[in-house]
Amino acid sequence: MARLRWPPARHEYCKMPPQMDKRGRATRSPAASPKPGKKKRKARGQVSGRREAERALRASRRALLAAERKYRGFFENAVEGVYQSTVGGRYLDVNPSLARLYGYASPAEMMASISNIARDVYVQPDMRGRFRQMIEAQGEVRGLEYQVRRRDGRVIWISESARVVRNRMGKVLYYEGTIRDVTALREAEAEAARLEGQLRQAQKMEAIGTFASGIAHDFNNMNAAICGFTELALEGAPEGSQSQKFMRDVLAISHRAADLVRQILLFSRQTPPARTTIRIWLLVEEVARLLGATLPPNIEILSESLVADDRTIADPSQVHQVLLNLCANGIHAMHEGGGRLTVRLEDEAAGPGDAQAPGRRLRLSIADTGCGIPEEAMGRIFEPFFTTKPTGRGSGLGLSVVHGIVKNHGWDIQVASTVGAGTTVTLLLPAGAG
């Protein structure tokens, strides 16, 4: 029997029994397993780094989803229209406000219906080209106003602010911006400009009237003396002499000057007219007879009354002056080419939004088929001494006198004209007796 050594040798003390597999074969002992070293530490570091990267990626995704939800909430709930569009003119995304602005039930319906912005939205398709030039040259546009067409065909004004989005290479990817409806603002500005123009016109007419009235009175006194002395000289002039002819010419010019003075005084008169109940169609027929006697053969006057009661409240002499001036202007416009002057009286119901009180009123229209009034002159036709007639034909006071009388009576006057087709002047006056 072998004797045991005590204490055992170091190598015997540390030696471990071999491990056996199921078949009884020896396997590597635990002591032979490699010790943990740099490779295992490196592997553990890689696992830890991968986990940290995954956590960072998940946090980034959560932040991205939160930012997307925030942006989408702003996009969907914005009061103004917001969009993204391609360079070629197709919407990539629109918000509900923009869809409603253009008359669509939803953004999806709008994007499905509009395949070409320039053709389907812009009133002036070439505006899209100007928009692209501006935004790509400047990088953005601010407050660009132009007209667009809604789904129902109604034209509105919009104000657009947009920017261009590019990639790292500088290539344009798409446009994005905001749009708001400024139609009401535009209409308010136009109304304010119209009222301001009316105020300036009224002030100018008042100043000219005051000035002209003073001159007319002085000139009338001098012209009366000229007429009187010329008539006295004419009585003593030999019959058929040259001096008699010259004096008659002087007298005719003096009478024409007296007519001009009367028109100036009528234009500048600020006192209310002497109003009474009149039958306006009787005055129309009287003026038609007066002018018909001197009409050239290539001009005819047609008059038509479609009302049963033509009574109104007015100053008969001033209404006669209005009819005479308007008909004479129409005849003069047809002097060279001939044509037809049509005077028509009709009934019309005045609405709550009209200048006159609601109720029955008369529409008196005087239409000619003459040369018409150029568009650039339409804004000045009621100005004193403004005329489109050649030099020596007309004083430029006819329509000014008409305008003054009409406004002094509280009536409305409308003028529509097309060059080469003619002009129609319409008077709107209250019907009925006082």
Mark whether 172 and 96 lie in a shared domain.
Answer: yes
Last residue within a domain, chosen from 181, 204, 230:
181
Torsion of CA 140, 142, 147, 151, to 10 degrees: 70
The pLDDT tens digits for 173-216 are 999 999 999 999 999 998 988 888 878 877 776 776 677 677 77
Domain-located, residue 292: yes
Mark whether 320 and 196 lie in a shared domain.
Answer: no
Q: Which two tokens stand for residue 180?
A: 């708001």
Q: Is residue 291 pLDDT above 80, yes or no?
A: yes
Mark whether 124 and 157 lie in a shared domain.
Answer: yes
Mark whether 389 and 422 lie in a shared domain.
Answer: yes
Mark whether 220 and 90 lie in a shared domain.
Answer: no
Mark whether 153 and 233 lie in a shared domain.
Answer: no
Q: Are strands 412-418 and 422-430 parallel, antiparallel or unpaired?
A: antiparallel
Mark whether 325 and 294 lie in a shared domain.
Answer: yes
Mark whether 308 and 399 lie in a shared domain.
Answer: yes
Give the pLDDT confidence score for residue 13 in this predicted structure. Answer: 47
Coil/strand/helix, residue 22: coil
Structurally, the chain folds into a number of domains equal to: 3
- Structural domain boundaries enclosing 381: 276-430
pTM metric for this prediction: 0.47
Q: Which two tokens stand for residue 44?
A: 């553990």
Mark whether 124 and 82 lie in a shared domain.
Answer: yes
Q: What whole-number distance in Å separates Cα of residue 123 and Cα of residue 164?
A: 23
Mark whether 331 and 347 lie in a shared domain.
Answer: yes
Give the pLDDT confidence score for residue 371 in this predicted structure. Answer: 87
Domain-located, residue 45: no
The pLDDT tens digits for 11-55 are 544 455 555 555 656 555 554 455 555 566 656 666 677 777 777
Domain-located, residue 89: yes
Q: Is residue 221 pLDDT above 80, yes or no?
A: yes
Mark whether 243 and 311 lie in a shared domain.
Answer: no
Mark whether 288 and 197 lie in a shared domain.
Answer: no
The CATH number of whichever domain residue 86 belongs to comes to 3.30.450.20
Domain-located, residue 154: yes
Domain-located, residue 309: yes
Last residue within a domain, chosen from 239, 268, 297:
268
Q: Are 299 and 331 in contact (CB under 8 A)?
A: yes
